[in-house]
Amino acid sequence: MSTELPFSMTQTLALELDRVIAQQSLEIHFQPIVDVRQAQIIGYEALTRAPANSALHSPLVLFDVAASLGRLVELERLVVRRIVRRFVELQLPGRVFLNVTADTLMAAEHRGALIAEEFRPHGLAANRVVVELTETRPVLDLVALGNAVDTLRGLGFMMALDDLGEGFASLKRWVDLRPDFVKIDRHFIDGVATDPLKQQFVRSILEMAGTSGATVIAEGLEQEGDLLVLRGLGIDLCQGYLLARPSLTPRTSLRADLDALLGSAASTRSTPAGELSVITASQLARKGPTVDPAVSCAEVIEMFSRDEYLYSLPVLGPDERPLGILRSMSVLKRGAERFFIEIFGRKSCIELMDANPLVFDASASLRSMSEALANIDDRYMVDGFVVTRQGRYLGIGRSSDLLKAVSDSQLSIATNANPLTLLPGNLVIDRQLTRLLERAEHFVVAYWDINHFKPFNDAYGYHVGDEVIRFAAQLMAQVAEAHGDFLGHIGGDDFMMLMAPEEWEARLQAIGQGFDSGVLRFLQPQHIEAQGYHGRNRQGREQFHPLPSLSAGVLRVAPGEYGSARQIAAALVEPRQQAKNRGPRSGFFVERRQAQSPIAIAPSA
């Protein structure tokens, strides 16, 4: 870059680089990398910028100028030291991902002991550091690069390959270096929900990763529809603005709204069949006529002319993979042009094909489909969309069916779901209990509520109170999803879980522990230190109130033991009250009916 700049400008940038390095005036931002199945931050990518008033503020300009002046390695070493120090100061959990070029990596080939010395004062274990190889510059000495990677691995560092699919030779680097992580470039992530080729690329990367033992990270995630499809494809780790933006002081746990985003699928999947059912693209796919590229233009014109209700024809290639779609209106319009049949009649129908139709994976949700449909040209609304499974043609969907499904789903949610959490409400809970009783199944009922919630709601306000209720709901929903349990919201701060009888205690323990640690982010520091706060009770008198906690009354149900949902609700009254008296931490109390006496279970921690 600098070789093409006037000498005076190059000199100015060189002086500015001197100042930035001498003063170490670098801003370090961290962007979380999230396990989207567990809704947990597993690490942070560190991003570096010069001060906002500097001509080198842009990272691209900063590192490009340093490279042109032969100071790239010096700058990157300074950046690494600053990142590690800041990461430790902020006490961030998980791993830190450091971007370095091959130049800096190769400079580490013979200085392993020195590198270890640089990290030791900060107390950061080498296995918590992931070195990301960025391919903004070509690698001229592959042997030196391989030796450098071996040196770092010998010290305990982990390796990542950045921007897979971009750069000079990223796939070859993968084979040669065998990184611990591979990060798919944002180009292949953005819009993956509606692009079968991108979906196939992700599947191929996952297959290679399974063979090589690497973990895949999706970068540049910005749309909820893409998140849901990536989860369906098997991507666990994601990074992008949808989850969190880079920050000087990043959060160390997920906020309630982020939990809601990641837990939305869990909430719907815990719904019983036939109630608030989750519609996906596969359920809207209809079998219909298709053609292959061997079919001529004249033949498809004849097919559309003969059938006035045939609106579109998918064109399938080898292995039933869609190549595009033929649209009735455009095909007949082209066919009516003068001399079209004479010139193109015998040619392949791909001459008339739209090569970029709307395509959804079978797992695509109603929300992601409706969002994509809202952005297409109105002329194509009647022609529908293509549905694929693992990249192969499954069927054609009608836009009218999609719009009706969206309308029905919204009506069902409004009728049967709690408006605060969108979890199934009382009607659905009673139906699910009745269904389990009629099937004579063994199951476990846990009636959860939040202890000391009313004084908390009075002290902190209803808005924070609602956030705590949503947080509790999302926490329970994640556990319910992982084990196929049912979760419903009775109302207010009361919830009901219906669980399989295996290992249910561990699930309740996990919910209690998660609530006790997570609820702290909603509380004022002085209240956390005092383990409570003063406020007025229902009689208007000053009283000390403990911090909110979760308690659950638990009932183990055997076939034939109860005849109705009403009887189960009555039997839960006593264990619920006992659970509330367990102490300041979250916990649960089990009434074992077979033993004829209640047995207490320890708190969650």
Residue 154 phi/psi, 5-degree rounding, is: -65, -25
pLDDT per residue over 485-495, tens digit each? 889 999 999 99
Report CA dihedral (490, 492, 493, 496) to the nearest 10 degrees.
0
3-class secondary-structure state, position 270:
coil
The mean pLDDT of 542-570, rounded to a whole number, is 91
| pLDDT at position 438 | 81
pLDDT at residue 605 is higher than 50 = no
The pTM for the full model equals: 0.47
Six-digit token pair at 418?
A: 């709690």
The separation between CA 583 and the C-alpha centre of its own chain, rounded to angstroms, equals 36
pLDDT of residue 109 exceeding 60, the answer is: no
List, for residues 120-167, the tens digit of each pLDDT value.
777 788 889 998 887 666 666 677 788 888 888 888 889 998 877 654
Higher pLDDT, 560 or 64: 560
Percent of the chain with pLDDT over 70: 83
Q: Between helices 7-23 and 59-68, what is the axis angle to 10°? A: 110
Q: What is the mean pLDDT of residues 45-54?
A: 81
Q: Are 147 and 114 in contact (CB under 8 A)?
A: no
The residue whose two tokens read 């842009």 is: 58
Q: Position of tokens 């001498």?
A: 22
Most confident of 59-73, 93-107, 243-257: 93-107
Q: For 74-103, write each residue's pLDDT tens digit.
A: 888 888 888 998 999 999 999 999 988 877
Q: How far apart are CA 396 and CA 282, in angstroms?
A: 10
**Alpha-carbon gap, residue 528 to 256, rounded angstroms:** 19
Q: Give dist(CA 448, CA 491) in Å, integer.
A: 11
What 3-state DSSP class applies to 529?
helix
Residue with tokens 């190889």: 133
Helix, strand, coil percent values for the chain (each to nearest 5): 50, 20, 30
Beta-strand pair 181-184/158-164:
parallel
Of 229, 579, 569, give the one whose Cα is nearest residue 429: 569
Alpha-carbon distance of 103 to 170, in angstroms, equals 16
| Whether the Cβ atoms of residue 270 and residue 486 lie closer than 8 Å to each other | yes
- Burial of 454-493, coded b for 16+ CB within 10 Å and e otherwise, reads ebbbebbeeeebebbbbbbbbbbbbbbbeeebbbbbbeeb
Question: CB of 456 within 8 A of CB of 492?
Answer: no
Q: What would the pLDDT profile of 374-413 be if each residue is shown by its tens digit?
A: 766 665 566 678 898 878 899 988 887 787 777 766 665 5
Question: Is 509 within 8 Å of 589 (Cβ atoms)?
Answer: no
pLDDT at 192 over 90: no
